[in-house]
Every structure is written in C-alpha cells, then in structure tokens.
Amino acid sequence: MIDSELYDIAEETLDRLRASSYMIATAESCTGGMIGAVLTAVPGSSDVVDRGFITYTNSAKTEMLGVDAALLGPGGPGAVSKPVAQQMAEGALSRCQAQIAIAVTGVAGPGASERKPAGLVFIGCAMRDKQTIVEEHHFPGDRAAVRRATVLAALALAVRQAC
C-alpha cells in the first residue's frame, strides 16, 4: 500500500524530473518493483517513467541488465555490492530511452549475514551526462521498513542528481 507520504514524494519527484525534461527507469532487486509502483501510482506518470526492471535473481541481473556474472559468483562481491548497483543502473540506462536510471540492491531481511546485515542497501544512479554514483545505506527496522526507506532514498537520489 502506498501511503500519503510516499505518494506526495513520488508526485514531487515526478514534477521535478518533468521540469528537467527527464524520464526515469528503475532497476530493482530488494524492493521488488516498489519504486516503480510508487512512481506510477501518480496519474500522468507515463510521461516521466520509461520502464522498470525487476531483477530479483542473479540470473535476471545478468540477462536483463548485463551485470557481469563474475561479480555475482564465487570470488565476486555478490549481488549486494557497489559494483552490482552500478552495473544495474548503467544496464537499465543502456536499455531504455530514459535519461536517468535508479538501481537498488540490498538485504531487506531475512537472509542477512555477518558481512551483509539486514538493512544494507546500495543505490546506484546512472545518467547519460554524468558519472554513475552509488550510495551505501544501512537502514534500521524490519523488512518493510528497509524497503520503504530504500524507496525514499532512491527517489531523493534521483532528484539530487537530475535537478
């Protein structure tokens, strides 16, 4: 369910992107499409939201976004990592007409480990005219709280980079 705060932030994000003549694409793992759902809950969002990739599995990340399989396999940093978030964002951008792509990968919980605790999230932002950036976050709370915080942080990053 999209609460009024998420809706208002999505509406503001879309307005800011629209004013900059940007379209956005999303590449989501731990949020499972929540960023796209929040953005498209706002009527008229189709002029700003180009598409979304839900890449929950490692194979989806490689097949749909071109993430290097070596990053995901033994000896690599794994799916929840800065290089994977970067490649997810860049892969989404290269496969669409948008000018900005936001990618998220993380551990919402359960499935945490000592190296990758619940709440660890990487958010990548790729733009056609800027260097890709990746932020590392450690969000508190249960699975729902981590996913919600990730959506909010991803939208904030998109606005900071694009506007």
Give the length of the chain: 163
Q: What are phi and psi of 91, to 5 degrees?
A: -65, -40
For the domain that residue 42 is a member of, what is the CATH number?
A: 3.90.950.20
pLDDT value, residue 110? 82
Helix axes 143-162, 4-19, angle to 10 degrees: 20
Model confidence, pTM: 0.96
Sign for the CA dihedral angle at 10, 12, 16, 18 comes to positive
pLDDT value, residue 129? 86
The distance in angstroms from the start CA to the end CA of the chain is: 28
3-state secondary structure of 74: coil
pLDDT value, residue 20? 95
Look at residues 109, 79, 103 and name the one whose alpha carbon lies nearest to residue 90.
103
- What is the chain's pLDDT, residue by residue, as a tens digit (163 residues)? 799 999 999 999 999 999 999 999 999 999 999 999 999 999 999 999 999 999 999 999 999 999 999 999 999 999 999 999 999 999 999 999 999 999 999 999 887 788 899 999 999 999 998 999 999 999 999 999 999 999 999 999 999 999 8
Count: domains in the chain: 1
Full domain range(s) for residue 67: 4-162
**Whether the Cβ atoms of residue 100 and residue 161 lie closer than 8 Å to each other:** yes
